Amino acid sequence: MNGGAIFAWAFLTTYAAALLHVLLSPRSGPFRPPAGTRCPLGPRAGWLVLVLLLGQIGWVQYMRRRAAVRRPGTAAGVLSA
């Protein structure tokens, strides 16, 4: 394989891995939207759309959001200055 083919396979593999991670992770949230909201998409579906459109950049945003939510002493993942 030449360098271009290796790059293409690496890109496709990481793209698929990011989609699978968001799809299978329990921390992605439910597929259905919370009760009382007007948005037809749940949190997991929203993250899937972001990763589908943005690829690895969307996955990095997903990972950063998960890390922000898990930090103790923060309110809803918002970091104080």
Q: Tell me the C-alpha distance between 32 and 69, whole Å.
A: 20
Q: Percent of the chain beyond pLDDT 90?
A: 46
Number of other CB atoms surrounding residue 39 within 10 Å: 10
Q: Percent of the chain beyond pLDDT 70?
A: 83
pLDDT top residue among 12 and 72: 12
How confident is the model at residue 41, as a pLDDT? Answer: 87
Q: Tell me the C-alpha distance between 78 and 81, whole Å.
A: 10
